[in-house]
Amino acid sequence: MGKGIIGLYEHADDTIKAAEKLKDAGYRATIFSPVPLVHEIERSRMGERPNYIKWFVLIGCLGGLSFGFLFTLITSAMYVLPRGGRPIFSMTPTLLLSYETTILFGVLWTMFGFLVIARLPVFFKKSYDPGVKVDSFGVLVEDLQTDKHKEIERIMHEFGPTEVRLIENEQP
Amino acid sequence: MPAVILQLRKVTVDKRTYSEVNKDILRLMTKTGPGYYAALGIVASLAGILFFLPWAYQIYRGQGVTGLNVPVLWGVYLVNFVFWVGIAHAGTLISAMLFITKTPWRRAIARGAETMTLFALILVALYIFIHMGRPWNAYWTMPYPNQRELWLNFMSPIMFDVFAIGTYTTSSAVFLYFGMIPDLASLQHQTTGWRKKLYSTLSLGWRGTDAQWTVHGRATMFFSSFIMPLVVSVHSIVSWDFALSLVPGYSQTVFAPYFVTGALLSGLAGVMLMFTIMRWAYPFLTKYVTDYHYDRVGALILALSLVWSYFTCMEVFTGLYANTSLELEHLKFKILTLPYFKLYFLMIFCNSILPLSLIFKKLRVSRPFMLFLCIFVLIGMWLERYLIVPNALSRKFLPFMWHDYTPSWVEVSITLGALMFFVSLFMVSIKLFPVISLFEVKEDIGIPMKHEHRKDGA
């Protein structure tokens, strides 16, 4: 990853406004925050993000459901336990077991989807400021040519930042 | 809007408020006085003496050292098993159910409750092995083909149990870790040495971008929606271990909701007991776990206790209406025979009568009273399981099978030792991981805004 300019703010609404303005000026701005600002960002001009994780969850659930069904049914087919005329393929345990495996696989795939979409774990260095994980809000613009620096810094300064600086790669 | 939240909102939220949260939690994790070491030393050695040594003795001598004998083959170990599954339900109730219902006060206590869930489930797993006559053959339960053709019988409720509890343990561990990622990322810059290394590795490089927070929120929603039905199914399935049999006193259709309610009741009492002790040991936690939490949890305990009392009545009435000599004999033994008569009414006092006092707000926010009440509720809930599990077997069908059960010293010692083991696990974990969720508490305090104000919502 290249260099970037980060602006740190004390207030969440300033941060979002700065990001909106940067977006209007045609830059890709990333907002950092120590708390989730999902509602605020959705309401702003930054817009809602696409919801991809639901597909991971769906795959997990369907996989778990079919695993549960196949596991119980194949087991009863391979090792027949005659129980006084009762059905060999019984519905109750099959449904119960597949209910549990649906949830198990669903949970695991949700976690997997979260890691994929949030791009975790990170193995290379990415730029940010440690403060954004504790008490500051930040806007970052990355991958830019040197001639744009002035304009970005000007936009960031409009909303009263505590700090605007050029950052190099930092350890995630 | 609830009073305390409003009160919190009046505080001007700025940079300092947020860094103070980090400082407080770090203080809880890193500043360790001699009192902590002394307490941990005592608890851990008690766990060794009361839990591990008797268990080793039991493995060496066999199950004969317990009070178990035909026909009472399910004794205190399974009572404890059910009890700890119940305690494990609190984390899920507080984090998942209250998340879905958008209850704001859940945030400060959710992480602690989830941690309790995980450790309680560790004990649950241990009790299965303790109860096994030959624990070294535990791998026989694994579903793989072998030359003895020992395949799994999926008709057995015990088999449902394996899957339910396995799923629950995995899901709680994943959910606990998932929620901790932003907090570990936040702490990694304020720590040094091995802690820094540990937190940097575990936080996976979380940066807190808006994309990450969005998917974090959505994933939390999915986790909660999965775990909520899971938790109901887990204790229902545990109750079917009993209810799907034909033993009088076990085969009750009311057992599934009865057990789930009881589990939530004991779980909440467990969480409040734990937070009361922690607040006493670390007074600055009063900022995060406030009177308001006590008030709300107290109200929830009251509601659950009323539901529980209803089910307890129903259990007796179902037996009476069945009007078979088997059911009546069991009821007579459980409610009217002497040692159990006292235990039964102690249980009613602990779980039905005493919680009624929570109708007064003064008592709900009084910490000594809540401490006292939570201990009694836990005792009552343990007794409930005790009165069901071995007691029904003691009066099984015909009188020639009747047999009274008394737990031996090994069983009593393992019961107490396991509690000590749980406490020591918990004490170690509060020093390793943030027991109060940093980002959720920050959200609770409010988001610093110059112009607009945020409407509350989970």
Tell me the β-bridge partners of A30.
A140
Distance, in Å, from the CA atom of B355 to the CA atom of B35, rounded to the nearest integer, reads 33
Tell me if B150 sits within 8 A of A88, measured CB to CB.
no
Average pLDDT taken over every residue of chain A:
85
For residue A119, list chain B residues with Cβ-Cβ distance below 8 A.
Answer: 212
Lookup: tokens for B62: 């066999």
Residues A111 and A163 in one domain: no
Domain hosting residue A110, numbered range: 53-117
Residues A95 and A135 in one domain: no
* Residue A146 C-alpha, separation from nearest chain B C-alpha, in angstroms: 24
For residue A116, list chain B residues with Cβ-Cβ distance below 8 A.
Answer: none
Distance, in Å, from the CA atom of B263 to the CA atom of B258, rounded to the nearest integer, reads 9
Residues A93 and A57 in one domain: yes
Inter-chain touch B209–A30, beta carbons under 8 Å: yes
* Residue B280, pLDDT score: 92
pLDDT in tens, chain B (458 residues): 344 444 444 445 556 678 888 888 888 898 888 999 999 999 999 999 999 999 999 999 999 999 998 889 999 999 999 999 999 988 788 888 888 888 888 888 889 999 999 999 999 999 999 998 888 888 777 766 666 666 777 888 888 888 999 999 999 999 999 999 999 999 888 888 899 999 989 989 888 888 899 999 999 999 999 999 998 999 999 999 999 888 888 888 889 999 999 999 999 999 999 999 999 999 888 888 888 889 999 999 999 999 999 999 998 998 888 888 888 888 889 899 888 999 999 999 999 999 999 999 999 999 999 999 999 999 999 999 999 999 889 888 888 888 889 999 999 999 999 999 999 999 999 999 999 988 888 888 888 887 765 554 43
* Residue B7, pLDDT score: 45
For residue A33, list chain B residues with Cβ-Cβ distance below 8 A.
Answer: 208, 210, 213
A115 pLDDT above the threshold of 60: yes
Q: A139: helix, coil or strand?
A: strand
Residues A94 and A137 in one domain: no
Record the pTM.
Answer: 0.91
Domain hosting residue B309, numbered range: 3-136+150-445
* Residue B240, pLDDT score: 92
Inter-chain touch A136–B15, beta carbons under 8 Å: yes
| Residue A14, domain CATH | 3.30.70.120
Among A2, A40, A6, A17, residue whose Cα is nearest residue A159: A17
Residues A108 and A158 in one domain: no
A132 pLDDT above the threshold of 90: no
Distance, in Å, from the CA atom of B162 to the CA atom of B138, rounded to the nearest integer, reads 12
The enclosing H or E element of A167 equals strand A163-167
* Residue A3, pLDDT score: 74
Report CA-CA distances (Å) from B198 to A130, B202, B332, B433: 17, 6, 58, 10
Residues A130 and A162 in one domain: yes
For residue A135, list chain B residues with Cβ-Cβ distance below 8 A.
Answer: 15-16, 18-19, 22
For residue B223, list chain A residues with Cβ-Cβ distance below 8 A.
Answer: 107, 110
Nearest chain A residue to B160 by CA distance is A97
Tell me if B438 sits within 8 A of B111, measured CB to CB.
no
Inter-chain touch A120–B189, beta carbons under 8 Å: no
Q: Residue B450: inside a domain, yes or no?
A: no
Nearest chain A residue to B237 by CA distance is A96
Q: Residue B458: inside a domain, yes or no?
A: no
Residues A68 and A112 in one domain: yes
Inter-chain touch B449–A57, beta carbons under 8 Å: no
Among B315, B395, B403, B414, residue whose Cα is nearest residue B79: B414
Test mutation, A14, A73, A107, chain B, max B CBs within 10 A: A107
Inter-chain touch A110–B155, beta carbons under 8 Å: no
Chain A CB within 8 Å of residue B62 CB: no
Domain C-terminal end among A78, A98, A117: A117
Inter-chain touch B167–A121, beta carbons under 8 Å: no
Inter-chain touch B439–A35, beta carbons under 8 Å: yes
Distance, in Å, from the CA atom of B207 to the CA atom of B200, rounded to the nearest integer, reads 11
For residue B152, list chain A residues with Cβ-Cβ distance below 8 A.
Answer: 75
Handedness of CA B248, B250, B253, B255 (dihedral sign): positive
Q: Residue A172: inside a domain, yes or no?
A: no
Residues A65 and A37 in one domain: no
Handedness of CA B382, B383, B386, B388 (dihedral sign): negative
Q: Residue A64: inside a domain, yes or no?
A: yes
Number of structural domains, chain B?
A: 1
**DSSP string covering B68-121:** -BTTB---HHHHHHHHHHHHHHHHHIIIIIHHHTT-TTHHHHHHHHHHHHHHHH
Among B145, B184, B139, residue whose Cα is nearest residue B162: B139
Strands of the sheet with A137-142, listed across from one edge: A29-32, A137-142, A4-9, A163-167
Residues A110 and A147 in one domain: no
B76-92 and B255-281 are packed helices; what angle lies between their axes, rounded to 10 degrees? 70
Among B240, B244, B88, residue whose Cα is nearest residue B173: B88
Interface of B with A in 417-446 (CB under 8 A): 438-439, 442-443
Residues A91 and A66 in one domain: yes
**Residue A26 region by backbone torsions, left for phi larger than 0, else alpha for psi between -120 and 50, else beta:** left
Number of structural domains, chain A?
A: 2
Chain A CB within 8 Å of residue B158 CB: no
B255-281 and B291-322 are packed helices; what angle lies between their axes, rounded to 10 degrees? 150
Distance, in Å, from the CA atom of A152 to the CA atom of A29, rounded to the nearest integer, reads 10
Q: List pLDDT tens digits, range A65-105.
A: 999 999 889 888 888 878 788 888 888 889 999 999 999 99
Tell me if A12 sits within 8 A of A132, measured CB to CB.
no
Residues A60 and A101 in one domain: yes
Query: What is the predicted ipTM?
Result: 0.91
Inter-chain touch A120–B204, beta carbons under 8 Å: yes
Distance of CA A23 to the CA centre of its chain: 21
Inter-chain touch B204–A121, beta carbons under 8 Å: yes
> What are the backbone dihedrals phi and psi of residue B125, each rounded to the nearest 5 degrees, phi first?
-65, -40
Residues A45 and A75 in one domain: no
* Residue B6, pLDDT score: 40
* Residue B144, pLDDT score: 66
A172 pLDDT above the threshold of 60: no
